Chain A
Amino acid sequence: MSRSSHHERGDIGARFPKVDGAGKADGSGVYTDDLAFPRMLHAKLLRSPHAHARILNIDVSAAERLPGVIATLVGAEMPAKYGVIPWTHDEQALATDHVRFIGDEVACVAALDERTAEEALRLIRVDYEPLPALLSAEEALAHPEIKVNEKAKVGNITKEVKLEFGPVDEAIATAAAITRERYQYAGSTHAPIEPHCAVARVDGDGNLTVWSSTQIPHYVHRELARVLGLPPARVRVIQPLLGGAFGGKSDPFSLEFCVAKLALKTGRPVKILFTREEVFYAHRGRHPMAMDVTVALDAGGRISAVDNKILIDGGAYASFGLVTAYYAGQLLTGPYRFGTYRFDSKRMYTNKPPCGPKRGHGSVQPRFAFEVALDEAAEKLGIDPIEVRRRNFIGEDVETVNGQRITSNGFLKCLELVEQASGWKERHGKLGPGRGLGVAGSMYISGTAYPVYPNEMPQSGVLVKLDRSGRVAVFSGASDIGQGVNTLLCQIAAEELGCDPREVTVVAADTDLTPVDMGAYSSRVTFMNGLAAREACEKLARKLKAAASVRVGDEIELELGTVRGPRGSISFAEACQLAEAAEGAPLSATGGYRTQKLGGNYRGGTIGASPAYSFTAHVAEVEVDEETGIWKVTRIWAAHDCGKALNPTLVEGQIEGSVYMGAAEAQMEEMVYGKQGLLFGPSLLDYKIPTSLDTPLIDALIVESHDPNGPYGAKEAGEGPLHPAIPAIANAIHDACGIRLRELPFYPQRVLQLLQARVPGQERRTAC
């Protein structure tokens, strides 16, 4: 296989293969369920069969008598409430008196093997007093007297946000074109292929270690110590290889508390592996939202007003819901300039599995609604869909209507690339019956300016250690969840130190050994952890150069494992030895990402504030069978401005995975519940996710806008590229057959209904 020297070196911008690739390829990589310890017990969770009920009594005595059962656990043994956000601690590892959805955890049994534990669950007797269940956001709003979760101050509202920027009603009154429609997003879930798993072990000195398939080891560490009442120094959380997450593993979960408590009770290692069904109950997926959106354009096609009223179905617990209510409004204000803007979003507690942050947290749903509305409004003025997006481009180094600071912005280049690659000018509106092209754009955060719990400490820390053998060890708290941050850390070390990236060891996501990092969420890892790593490596490079200058002279270059100066060159290891001798101590340096003060000067103005925003444009191509409503998205061109691709292969992977996931939500994904609140078909057969045969061809195009603040100019790539997929598909279906889809997913029967309701002459979109 041919490789460029760039590729071999593995410095910034190289298509360097993932450092954990071989271990994943040969089956030797260790995921949480691959861990086993002597005398390890297996535990199972008993779950509520009621969507809403009071617990009157729990009797575990019969379960405890079953041979092979070693211990049982009920909520009263660790009743403290927890939650990822400190203002909404509203969950218990096991419910003490109140269950809130079918699948809520009630009791736990540890046994010699999994089957015995499962058998024992059937012997636990729980007396419930069923309560009326609220199964939609509308019901939750209509029945404040029924309290799903006591944490709600008013009725069942987790959080309501109302913000207005400028005279919205005035702008609407004078608009040249308006669309005012209701859009609905059905809930969807992450469905990582690895089910959640946790293993706990207590050593003879009382130190607890929990290995968990989590993307937030730091928060799990904090909450474990708090809920179990242990000193944080006695608790260690390690994240092994993680088999997919997408936001679905970014809350502390009951299984982590239960294995820990059972290990403390029994003195034996304990494992819980969720079944696929349980993964669906753990959920934290994308919120169902009903959005009443008004988009107004002036005569020049400029967006003069956007008004969005959003009702969010949150499920039984808050999770990140406080943030969701903000993100649903705050993240819509680019890449276009809004003249005026208003949103009113309410997140409701309901008796269903809790929603949370799924890739593109909070903003995928409103983005769908807005981009379809923009298309429709532009059509009324006879403006081409790409042209209207170009005309409203907000620019670089500007502030959005809601006070977010945009630095770099490559959105125009993204539009240009997808326009060219898709043959838009020649093909849009001209593909013949049943075939069409659609476009959409979006922006997303590169991390949040403020951490989930308020503090002045760095959001991400990296420690780099060099030793006399020339070995570089990077200690990083960041979670590699498949996106490849461990590989980027090797590349950053190679770039700064001139070492061979293959001689870099990364020790990551271990709360005993690594500095704190907040976790893999909100697309923060490359930006924040990358800056921290670069800072640490820069400091070490200065030490190396200073020490080496004695031998090779000043003006030193560090490159490819060689330290070169005017008086000759020495090896990287020799330079390390000189520096260690000069230092008189082991060589190390640290770097940290410090939170910047950002955001609008109003209540909530900091939520949605990010040190940099990424931008994306998609063009989707579809084929619709107008007889049956069956449609297929055949190809998506996705151009994404990631600032700088530190590793183009990894960035393309993030774009492709995002496009796939967005297209999946448009096509088939929905969490469907019955009248009693039971989730239908909690399996990968019934909850359909796309196979290779359902996935469009994806063209990932990277745009680099070189952000002034990101590491080497980089911004995020993991979540932004998902957003435009759904509206681009909806707009393409409109181009193909003249219908406007406003409710997800776009089931063929929905498409057919709209096709049948068409009036003559509506078969195609208006030509521009």
Chain B
Amino acid sequence: MKLIRLALRNLLRQKRRSILLGSAIAFGILFITLINGFTGSFIENVGENFSNLMAGHIFIDGVEKSSSGKDLYLIDDDSRIMDAIEKSGIEYNFLTKRSEIRGTLLFEGNGINQSIVGADWEKESYFKERIILKEGTFENLSDPHGIIVSSKIAERLNVQLGDHVIVKMQTYTGQQTAGDFTIAAISIDTGLFGSISCYANILYVNELLNIGPDKYLTLGIYLNNLIDTDPVTAKLLPELEKRINLFSRETTDDGNPFMAILEQQEEEEWDGVKYRLTTINDLLSEVEEIVRILNIAGLIIMLVLFAIIMVGITNTFRMVMFERIQEIGTMRAVGMHRSEVRALFLFEAFLLAIGGIISGYILSGITMFIISRVYWGVDTPLFMLLKNGYMTFRLAPLQIILNFVIVTILTLLAAFRPADKAAKLEPALALSTEK
């Protein structure tokens, strides 16, 4: 205890120097905490945004082989799927039934390859909360041929509200066809993925695909929470397996179930419809890889930063030792052990680290609070990483503890050599040394 008080007093004797060293440590902590905080919410935000974009967390679609071996996607009769959902007892927010066209939108010599999602917008009322319109209204979708395009698509096609566009596409079985749409509304472009799809009425989309009005391509299950995805899937799968022919989600090692399903689709032959169950987490596993890389990069940068800070700490403690050489000699002469001298220096380094780390965390908290209050808008390329236009941060307690331990050890290591050197000083030699 005496040593700790002594170490604290020594640090306070050279306030400016201690503050500078502590600030360097605090800066390092601020840097790594911001990265960890950002990546911590990265998965959650990307997952939620993808779920909104794709209208679900769990997706089921039916695949059958054409006579030429090509995969055709269609849910012809969903009664057994609905039964499985009901019997499994899973909780969900809502179900979405969607059909999709991939074709070329044409207007006065301009053409863009685009996906057009067809849904029953009366039933999918939540949709109106997810898409922000720049021009037009959702009521315009009452026109069976109405279509909502993003502002970027509207700009590239040079279309305005009420313009008629043609879509060149294929039917469900791959035959050529064309459809007519009227621009019902223009949505705000939400960055990278915002222009992926246009939105239209499912009845007309089905008519163009040449499938019945009550059929569709994908059933989406929108859950209450992203983190429910895996447990709900585990509950639903056995019930589905009892009722329909389902592709296996089993993978070797830690492979992606979606990739495993694609492989089965390529390799297997089957009669009738075989169903695929995929989840938002199958897609997010690729995003998780990005997060892992970001965290590793953050850790490497932190280690480089602390290598520089360590050099500063080592030099400062060598200087401190030289400044206090006679004091060390006196302490040793009055009976202080070598180990106590070493411990005194290391306590100083420890307290410095603690001060720097706590300051760093406080600074991080303030910075994150300020950044999370900034509204970045919905038309930013960062949109997929944001939560409703705001940047959010999430820190795992284990990550905080790990960074704490790493920085403390590094600071102690940096101070160890000067501390050891001070401990090994001969009292007589130390007392006779002139500064």
Judge: A and B partners, yes or no: no
Using a CB–CB cutoff of 8 Å, the interface residues on chain A facing chain B are: none
Using a CB–CB cutoff of 8 Å, the interface residues on chain B facing chain A are: none
